[in-house]
Amino acid sequence: MKKNHMIRLLAFLTVAIALLLISVFMDGQPLQAGDPPPALSSPILFTEPITGTWATNPYTSSSYAVVRAYFDHPQMVADLAAWTEPWEVDYEKGFVVLGVTPDEFDLLQQAGFTLEIDPIRTEYYTQIRTDPPGYAPTYDTIPGFACYRNVEGTFNTATDLVATYPTLASFIDVGNTWEKQTPGGLPGYDMQVLILTNQAIPGPKPILFITAAIHAREYTTAELVTRFAEYLLTQYNTDPDATWILDHHEVHLMLQTNPDGRKQAETGLSWRKNTNQNYCGTTSTARGADLNRNFEFQWGCCGGSSGSQCSETYRGPSPASEPETQAVQNYLQAIFPDQRGPGLTDPAPTDATGVYIDIHSYSQLVLWPWGFTATTPPNSTALQTLGRKLAYFNNYEPEQAIGLYPTDGTTDDFAYGDLGIAAYTFELGTDFFQDCGSFESTILPDNLPALIYAAKTARTPYMTPAGPEALNVAVSSSVVAPGTSVILTSTLNDTRFNNQNGTEPSQNIAAAEYYLDIPYWGTSPVAYPMSPSDGNFNATIEGATATIDTTGWPEGRHTIFVRGRDQNNNWGAISAAFIYIIDPVASPIIQGEVRAADTGLPLTATISAGSLTQVNNNPTTGFYEMQVLSDTYDLTAAPVSPLYGPSTVANVTAQNYQTIEQDFLLYPYCTAFSDNVEGGNLGWTAQTPWAITTESAHTPTHSWTDSPGGNYTNNRNITLTSPIIDLSGTQGVTLNFWQICDTEAGYDFCTVEVSTNGTTWTPIA
């Protein structure tokens, strides 16, 4: 059967595409000359000022629209935030984006906002989504969004993780939702927390607590935190950092903080609040309370929430009136000590412990208290330092929460204000119903490292982030016989902060050290100094090295912990590496050759046995040899040459006193389709105004552009789609293209999508 693929670019922007190259890793079968190519496409979004009423506007549905509302003064945003939540705020350009009903549309006009309807996003938020026929995921997902598990899928995942990792995970009930505690209606849900830690190592341990999806429509949030849990558990005993985090810290995850509301949002409704029927009518889609305006600390104090029951930011009739809020508050107070006095100016101590993060979408922000006042909190400098560090990983803008608009009765203000915990809000991505391609390619890989760093620093979050990170911790050989000398290396970096909203001070590296098996906070730790790789510690980024003598070490796995100190005496977060001591006589050997499938000649490659160890082969003969622990491995040969693809052999079992022969044939990449746009249109379907021009190019003079001769226009959603390419018998397909974008950041986009049928498209970039 042929595998026909198409690729398209969806441009919400000015974009120039200069070179498209699709390479496939063939199973020894060359692509035929007549085989067809892939496809690209591009949408453009914009709107026109609306001066009439809702009824006279051609872009609105009967009940909902997404609008851009232009304001004349920042106070208009503050006033707006008192009765609804803006989705996006751009103070520089003077507009907010939000979803509105007909009544809210009229209120905005009466308040002096100039409105533009966004027809594409209006359609996006009002369409009915279904899964394709035959779709059968492992866990239940939100219709039309295969990457996002629904409430049941999330909870079933957590239950299965506990069953798979019973010594590392537990799933506990900490309260009820409004529907669960209210008889006579829907069954509702338990409020549950997934706890990750090595239960064999006693505490107390520092805690990272994360809540997600407190606002129901924010699809990315619960999935990100669920993937974080899966990462830590699957990487335990494989990744040294994931291993020590679970050994020595605790990670607590409330994956669904508003499950009643999420069930409404899963139907496609832009549902934010819980589902309390006592507010705004029992069947109204505007019913419920905004849980992130319902917390006790500074509840309803400062115009950052609404007293109107039908408002999106309705704070509830009293502080912590909602059972979901009570569950979060009670849990925070149960797992964290109270480390701050009652006064607004009382700081938490410098060595305060614990980190709390509330995951939201959207706006690409990292926020910290306060949200109710522009006055900085008493731990402002330390909160800012960790906030800028977390924002380094996801490249979101770091700022105090009030910088967006006033909020009161929120999660992070409560966590910090009541307990002194280092508390943050992440605003993920660029949409509530974020497409899966953006989640998988950007949001997930950008935010996982931020959450890992937060877990690393939970012991002393007001101290550790100011110090240098220990990066690229490595040993010259991870599997050695006792008595072998091993070279330890690391890079100490004091510069990794997001400085787009102020500059974080950096200092030169002053020292580096490592610990064997017992980290610096353990019982009787021993610090071993590391030396500067270039002879002097005198820069903000420095290499460090040490020679480790393994004489007398017992067989088995050992952990090396590395940390660095800067000239201000700030010790940074640790990172780790494993060293395995083996019996050189008994331990099994895996050996073989790596050759090119097309020529039979040796290929230079790196061969790895899972995460245990890796070796380089002999480039002249292709031969490799590695000694490993008695176990089962996935062996991978990764060639140095970019012309060949890697190969993996799964489940290779090597037992003591065995020599296992495992050869590799590596197949070449073949170009399935290449177009440098110099030969005219090679079969692309180009919606107007896509055209080939010489306005900007890479190879060397021509490219496709979505707006030849000028700027793109409003209300455009246009595609450039390739011919079909037959990828039968291929694997390891890669897509490469050059592009130049000139857009309104955050609002106009180019999306790359692929399809196997020309109808259903999956975003990939």
Catalytic residues: 427
Question: Rounded to whole angstroms, how far apart are CA atoms 321 and 305?
Answer: 15
Q: Which of 25, 1, 3 is closest to 724 using CA atoms?
A: 3
Compute the Cα dihedral for 83, 86, 91, 93 and give only its sign. negative
Within its chain, how far is the Cα of 708 from the centroid? 35
DSSP state of 207: E
- Is residue 278 within 8 A of residue 288, CB to CB? The reply is no
Compute the Cα dihedral for 145, 149, 153, 157 and give only its sign. positive
Instruction: Report the 10 Å Cβ neighbour count for 519.
Output: 17
Instruction: Report the 10 Å Cβ neighbour count for 722.
Output: 25
- Is residue 509 within 8 A of residue 495, CB to CB? The reply is no
Residues whose CB is less than 8 angstroms from the CB of residue 123 and which lie 6 or more positions away in sequence, other chains included: none
- Is residue 276 within 8 A of residue 381, CB to CB? The reply is no
Q: In residues, how long is the chain?
A: 765
Amino acid identity for residue 367 in this structure: L
Question: Rounded to whole angstroms, how far apart are CA atoms 227 and 212?
Answer: 12
Q: Could you tell me the two tokens for 196?
A: 């990750």
Query: Is the bond leading into 91 cis (omega within 30 degrees of zero)?
Result: no
Strand 589-596 with 664-666, pairing: parallel
Q: Which of 394, 412, 393 is closest to 402 using CA atoms?
A: 412
Bridge partners (DSSP) listed for residue 575: 562
Q: Could you tell me the two tokens for 501?
A: 């909203």
